[in-house]
Amino acid sequence: MYVGPWAGYAYTAAVSFGDGNLVILTPAYTQITEPGGFVFGPVDPADYDVFVLKSRAHFRRGFDETGFAKTIVLVQAPGPFVGTTFLEALPYENVDLSKLYPYGTPTGR
């Protein structure tokens, strides 16, 4: 277990569990764009066979294009949720998406 600074936060936790598993907990959203971003405290990405990242797309440059990730599996949770890339699926109450790009044409265009 590690508790200490990482990615600009005073406190971040890396907790080992099960057989060679590790979960990293941050106090706010953190975008990891390359494997070196995981090097802190006792954590070294070379020690693990599988990574699971909650990310939208920025991970590709550091993990896919460099060849670090041998395989990438994209998973999308069912239904709309906070953080989805399918913004039109969220239940907006005060926004008309038909007037906003890319879901519609903005007024005056």
DSSP 90-105: S--SS--GGGSTTTS-
Q: With 0.75 as the threshold, say if the pTM is over it.
A: no
Which residue matches tokens 């090097």?
Answer: 39
At which residue do the structure tokens 């099960």 appear? 18
Q: Same structural domain for residues 20 and 64?
A: yes
Is the domain of 7 the same as that of 56?
yes
Host domain of residue 53:
2-75
Total domains present in the chain? 2
pLDDT at 80: 64
Percent of the residues in the chain that have a pLDDT greater than 90, as a whole number: 4
Same domain, 10 and 21: yes
> Does residue 79 register a pLDDT over 70?
no
Beta-bridged to residue 94, according to DSSP, are: none
Average pLDDT, the chain: 81
C-alpha dihedral (49, 39, 75, 28), degrees to nearest 10:
150
Residues 104 and 63 in one domain: no
Tokens 């999308």, located at residue: 76
Tens digit of pLDDT for each residue in 51-68? 777 776 677 788 888 888
Q: Is the pLDDT of residue 72 over 70?
A: yes
Does 37 share its domain with 59? yes
